[in-house]
Chains A and B, each alone.
Chain A
Amino acid sequence: MKYIDHHAHMVSRTTDDYAQLALTGCVAVTEPAFWAGWDRSSAEGMEDYFRQLTDFEPKRAAQYGIAHYTWLGMNPKESDNRALSREVLQRIPKLLGLPTVLGIGEIGLNRITRHEIETYTEQVELALEHRQLILIHTPHLEDKYKGTRITVDVLTRYRDLEPGRVLVDHAEEHTIEMILEHGFWAGLTLYPQTKISAPRAVDVIERYGPDRILVAGACDWGPSDPVAVPRFVMEMRRRKHSDDLIQRVVLENPIRFLRQSPKFRVPPGVETRVEVG
């Protein structure tokens, strides 16, 4: 089954992983800017990373027939550094016109410090100023509930923000209602330990239905699975869900959200029931 993984940190993955994605039906990935596992020492270093995301990585993906899009932003793990964040944010607007940049992301909170909230708020305003889609990271483990509450509170302060243009990622059972009830999209990221598993993601679909819910692997440099979405497909089939429902979640829903950016194109050869304007 063809699918789109909206959250994959492919700069951390090998070309073998691209091959696995292609072999399992992946037609497009979107890659949010994130932490490298160590802190960058300068805005120049971050801008080099953005160049990797916007120039090198689309070419690498194309070798496997996969479309690669990206999101730019100051990631939550480094956003407590206000001086670096300010410098990075000044460099982002000139890059927003690049052909594969879909919006601002992944932004949000990590340990939920005052500085992180300031940087996150500035990035929401940057997205609004440049009419960009927003992809938001929510904190992990014991910080998720608190971080998602504050994340949503900040978003609701902006009356001109269209909630349907915001994806709040890494949702779990205790945060998904507060995301959906405000009209945002919710992302379920399938991770071996610290996020949600495929069986629990299927439970969420069964409880809330498929509207405004996306699934992704969020593969990165840590323990993670580049073909987590196909494993979700397998889990849906194990529960006897229809291929129509599965396709809606793994292909049509990403298209519905991502096509709000004029740069996103439905990959050639992909047949969907989504009206493509």
Chain B
Amino acid sequence: MTAQPSRSPLSATAIVDEYFIENRTRLLEIAAFLDRVARADPGLAAKDFRMRALADALHVLAGGQPDRLLQIQMLLSDPSLEPLASLDRKSALGAFDPSAGGGRS
């Protein structure tokens, strides 16, 4: 796949001017969510696979590497290619649960 290199017609500064406030809001929402969970049960974040995945994703965000979104998408994904033998439920949960099987070590 040869992606056509492109970018927004906006300059980097214009992107920040346009989008900073809404992303500041998103950041505060994540912080509030983590605090809320911790107030309810300080130990849950270490036990729940979704919360551990979120913590891993936040490390990616803070790491400053390019393609952060792609890294996080893959971090949340089931990396295996093995079909389920039978239907377990109708819906996905939002993060891959390594304890349920799959290919990630």
CB distance from A211 to the nearest CB of B (A): 8
> Chain A contact residues (Cβ within 8 angstroms of B): what range?
35 or more
Determine how close the nearest CB of chain B comes to the CB of A216; give it in whole angstroms. Answer: 20
> B85's closest neighbor in chain A, by CB?
A114
- The dominant DSSP class at the B interface is loop
* Closest chain A residue, CB of each to CB of B96: A142
Residues of A contacting B92 with CB < 8 Å?
Answer: 111, 139-143
Say if the beta carbon of B13 comes within 8 Å of chain A: no
Residues of A within 8 A of B90 (CB): 77, 110-111
Give every chain B residue within 8 A of A111 (Cβ-Cβ).
Answer: 84, 87-90, 92
Q: What string of 1s and 0s marks CB contacts (under 8 Å) between B1-30 and chain A? A: 101111111100000001100000000000
Q: Which residue of B lies closest to A240 (CB)?
A: B9
Please measure, in the bound complex, the distance between the C-alpha atom of A150 and the C-alpha atom of B4, giving whole angstroms.
26
Given known contacts A111-B89, A142-B96, A208-B3, is B70 in contact with A174 (CB within 8 Å)? yes
- How far is B73's CA from A149's CA once the two chains are assembled, in angstroms? 14
Nearest 4 interchain pairs by C-beta: A181-B1, A141-B92, A209-B4, A174-B73
The tally of CB-CB contacts under 8 A between chains A and B is 98
Q: Please give me the residue from chain B that is nearest to A239 by CB atom.
A: B8
* B8 A143 Cβ-Cβ under 8 A: no
- Cα distance, A177 to B96, chains bound together (Å): 21
A141-B92, A142-B76, A174-B77 as given contacts; A206 in contact with B83, CB under 8 Å? no
Report the minimum CB–CB distance from A213 to chain B (whole Å).
11
B105, CB-defined interface residue at 8 Å: no
Contact of A55 with B by CB under 8 A: no
B81 partner, pick from A146, A177, A199, beta carbons under 8 A: A146
Please tell me if B37 contacts chain A, counting CB pairs below 8 Å: no
Q: Smallest CB–CB gap between A116 and chain B, Å? A: 8
> A146 — which chain B residues lie within 8 A by C-beta?
77-81
Number of B residues whose C-beta is below 8 Å from A? 35
Q: B62: CB under 8 A from chain A?
A: no
- Distance between B55 CB and nearest chain A CB, rounded to angstroms: 16
Q: Does A113 have its Cβ within 8 Å of any Cβ on chain B? A: yes
B31 in the interface, Cβ–Cβ < 8 Å? no
Distance in angstroms from A102 CB to nearest chain B CB is 27
Interface of chain B residues 40 through 90 with chain A (CB within 8 A): 69-70, 73-74, 76-81, 83-90
Cβ of A180 < 8 Å from any Cβ of B? yes
Contacting pair B78 A142 (CB below 8 A): yes
How long is the Cα–Cα vector from A144 to B70 in the complex, in angstroms? 13
Query: Are A180 and B1 neighbours in the complex by a CB distance under 8 Å?
Result: yes
With A141-B76, A145-B73, A208-B4 given, is the CB distance from A239 to B84 under 8 Å? no
Q: Answer yes or no: A117 CB below 8 A from chain B CBs.
A: yes
Nearest-Cβ distance from residue B43 to partner chain A, whole angstroms: 24
